[in-house]
C-alpha cells in the first residue's frame, strides 16, 4: 500500500506547477492447489487515466484492475505458467531505487499479456544460481482489461499497438543469475523481446518491435552497519510501441546506501534517447535523490527531490512516499 504526493516547485512549463497525491496498492493472493499447482495473481489500485495539464489531483481517477492471474506448475527446477501475466524484461521498472528511480524504465515494462511461459533454474558450485526463462503472449483484450470504480475501457484489437495481435507472435526470452562467479550479491539479467505488429491501419501500429536489455547489480556489505546496492541497466528497443521508425534506448544507474537496516539514501539517474525517423532526436533525463526510514514493521517513509527534462521541458519536483507492506 503506497501513498505518494509530489509537487512541482519549478518548471519551464507553467502547467507543471501542480500537486498530485494518489494511492497505489497491490494485492497479490496465492491459492495453493497441491504440492505442484497453485494460482496467483496481482490486483492493482492506482490512477487509470492521464491528468489534464495543470490540474491538481487528489486521489482522482483511481481504478482497480487485474494485472495478473495465472496457473502455475512447479516440479524441481521447472516452473510452467499460463494465464494473464507480466512478461519479465529487465529490472529497472521495479520499485526500490528511491521514489522515482523507476519512472522512465516503466516505459519498457511489459504488462497485462495473455499467454504462457516456462523457466528452468540451475545451480552451480562456483558460478552461482541462474534461471533461463521464456514466454509467448499477446495483449489482453478480454474483460480483464477493464477496471472498476473508475473505468479505463476495454482494450480492442483495433486499438493497435505492439503485441495486440490475439496470436502468439510475441515473445520474451531471458537469462538471469545471482551470486555470480561465487561473488555474494552480484547479479545480472539478459533479455530479448519481440512484440508482433498490431493493427497496421492504426496510428500506433505498423511495425514489429524488438529490443534487448542488460542488467548488472551488486549488493555489498560495507560493514556491520552499512550496505551498498549498486545497479545499472541498458535497454535498446527498435520500433518502440509498434511505431515504425521510433527507436529508444535507456541507460539507468543507481546507488543505494542502507544504514542499520533502517535508514536509506538513494541516488538514481536515467538517460532516455528517442530517435524518430524524420524528426530531431529527443534526449531526456531523470535524476532523483531521496532518503527514507524503515520502521521494521512493514512501514517505510521516504522524501526526496526529482529533476526531469522531457522533450525540452525542465521540471523540479519534491515529494514523499509512505509504503506499508504486509502479508496475511
Q: What is the pLDDT of residue 65?
A: 97
Containing 285, the helix (H) or strand (E) segment is strand 282-294
Q: What is the pLDDT of residue 12?
A: 83
Give ∠ CA 180-181-186 in degrees, rounded to 5. Answer: 35
CA-wise closest residue to 218 among 181, 179, 249: 179
CB 78: neighbour CB atoms within 10 A?
A: 12
How far apart are the C-alpha atoms of 98 and 255, rounded to whole Å?
10
Cα 102 to chain centroid distance, Å, stands at 7
Domain that holds residue 184: 2-324
- Residue 183 CB partners (closer than 8 Å, separation 6+): 128, 218
For residue range 127-157, list pLDDT tens digits in order.
999 999 999 999 999 999 999 999 988 999 8
Domain containing residue 178: CATH number: 2.40.160.10
Record the cell numbers describing residue 200, joined without a space.
497496421
In whole numbers, what is the pLDDT of the chain averaged over residues? 93
Q: What is the pLDDT of residue 202?
A: 56
Record the cell numbers describing residue 135, joined without a space.
514466454
How far apart are the C-alpha atoms of 157 and 198, rounded to whole Å?
8
CB 53 within 8 A of CB 11: no
Q: What is the pLDDT of residue 204?
A: 52
For residue range 50-101, list pLDDT tens digits in order.
777 778 889 888 999 999 999 999 999 999 999 999 999 999 999 889 999 9
pLDDT at residue 108 tops 60: yes
Report the domain count for the chain: 1
Mean pLDDT for 9-17 is: 83
pLDDT at residue 203 tops 60: no
- Residue 327 CB partners (closer than 8 Å, separation 6+): none
User: Which pTM value belongs to this model?
Assistant: 0.93
Mean pLDDT for 108-128 is: 95
How far apart are the C-alpha atoms of 311 and 284, rounded to whole Å?
7
Backbone angles phi, psi at 139, to 5 degrees: -60, 140
CA-wise closest residue to 75 among 121, 133, 136: 121
CB 39 within 8 A of CB 66: no
Q: What is the pLDDT of residue 57?
A: 85
Give strand ranges (E) for 36-128: 37-47, 57-58, 62-75, 78-85, 113-123
Q: Is the dihedral of CA 284, 111, 74, 132 positive or negative?
A: negative
CA within 13 Å, CB half, 157 = 6
How far apart are the C-alpha atoms of 181 and 125, rounded to whole Å?
9
CB 287 within 8 A of CB 264: no
For residue range 246-262, list pLDDT tens digits in order.
999 999 999 999 999 99
- Residue 279 CB partners (closer than 8 Å, separation 6+): none
For residue range 21-50, list pLDDT tens digits in order.
999 999 999 999 999 999 999 999 999 987
Q: pLDDT band at residue 102, thresholds of 50, 70 and 90?
A: very high
How far apart are the C-alpha atoms of 153 and 164, rounded to whole Å?
15
How far apart are the C-alpha atoms of 217 and 289, rounded to whole Å?
19
For residue range 159-185, list pLDDT tens digits in order.
888 999 999 999 999 999 999 998 999
Give strand ranges (E) for the chain: 2-11, 19-27, 30-32, 37-47, 57-58, 62-75, 78-85, 113-123, 129-139, 170-178, 186-195, 209-221, 226-238, 246-259, 263-276, 282-294, 299-310, 313-324
Record the cell numbers describing residue 139, joined without a space.
495483449
Backbone angles phi, psi at 89, to 5 degrees: -145, 100
Amino acid at each position: 500500500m503506497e501513498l505518494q504526493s509530489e509537487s512541482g516547485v519549478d518548471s519551464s512549463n507553467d502547467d507543471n506547477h501542480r500537486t498530485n497525491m494518489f494511492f497505489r496498492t497491490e494485492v497479490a493472493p496465492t491459492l495453493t492447489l497441491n504440492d505442484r499447482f497453485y494460482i496467483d495473481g496481482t490486483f492493482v489500485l492506482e490512477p487509470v487515466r492521464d491528468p489534464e495539464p495543470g490540474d491538481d489531483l487528489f486521489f482522482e481517477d483511481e481504478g482497480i484492475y487485474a494485472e495478473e492471474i495465472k496457473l502455475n506448475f512447479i516440479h524441481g527446477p521447472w516452473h510452467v505458467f499460463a494465464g494473464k501475466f507480466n512478461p519479465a524484461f529487465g529490472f529497472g521498472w521495479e520499485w526500490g531505487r528511491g521514489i522515482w528511480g523507476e519512472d522512465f524504465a516503466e516505459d519498457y515494462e511489459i504488462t497485462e499479456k495473455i499467454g504462457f511461459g516456462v523457466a528452468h533454474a540451475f545451480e552451480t558450485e562456483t558460478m552461482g544460481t541462474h534461471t533461463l526463462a521464456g514466454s509467448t503472449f499477446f495483449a489482453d483484450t478480454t474483460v480483464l482489461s477493464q477496471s472498476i470504480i473508475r473505468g479505463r475501457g476495454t482494450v480492442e484489437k483495433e486499438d493497435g499497438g505492439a503485441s495486440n495481435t490475439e496470436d502468439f507472435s510475441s515473445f520474451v526470452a531471458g537469462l538471469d543469475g545471482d551470486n555470480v562467479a561465487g561473488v555474494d550479491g552480484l547479479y545480472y539479467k539478459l533479455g530479448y523481446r519481440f512484440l508482433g505488429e498490431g493493427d497496421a491501419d492504426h496510428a500506433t501500429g505498423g511495425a514489429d518491435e524488438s529490443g534487448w536489455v542488460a542488467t548488472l547489480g551488486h549488493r555489498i556489505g560495507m560493514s556491520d552497519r552499512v550496505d551498498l546496492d549498486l545497479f545499472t541497466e541498458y535497454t535498446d528497443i527498435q520500433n518502440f510501441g509498434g511505431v515504425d521508425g521510433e527507436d529508444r534506448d535507456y541507460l539507468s544507474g543507481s546507488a543505494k546506501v542502507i544504514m542499520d537496516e533502517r535508514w536509506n539514501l538513494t541516488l538514481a539517474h536515467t538517460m532516455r534517447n528517442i530517435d524518430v525517423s524524420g524528426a530531431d532526436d529527443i534526449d531526456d533525463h531523470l535524476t532523483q535523490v531521496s532518503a527514507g526510514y524503515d520502521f521494521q514493521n512493514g512501514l517505510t517513509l521516504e522524501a526526496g527531490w526529482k529533476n526531469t527534462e522531457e522533450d525540452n521541458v525542465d521540471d523540479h519536483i519534491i515529494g514523499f512516499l509512505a509504503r506499508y507492506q504486509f502479508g496475511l
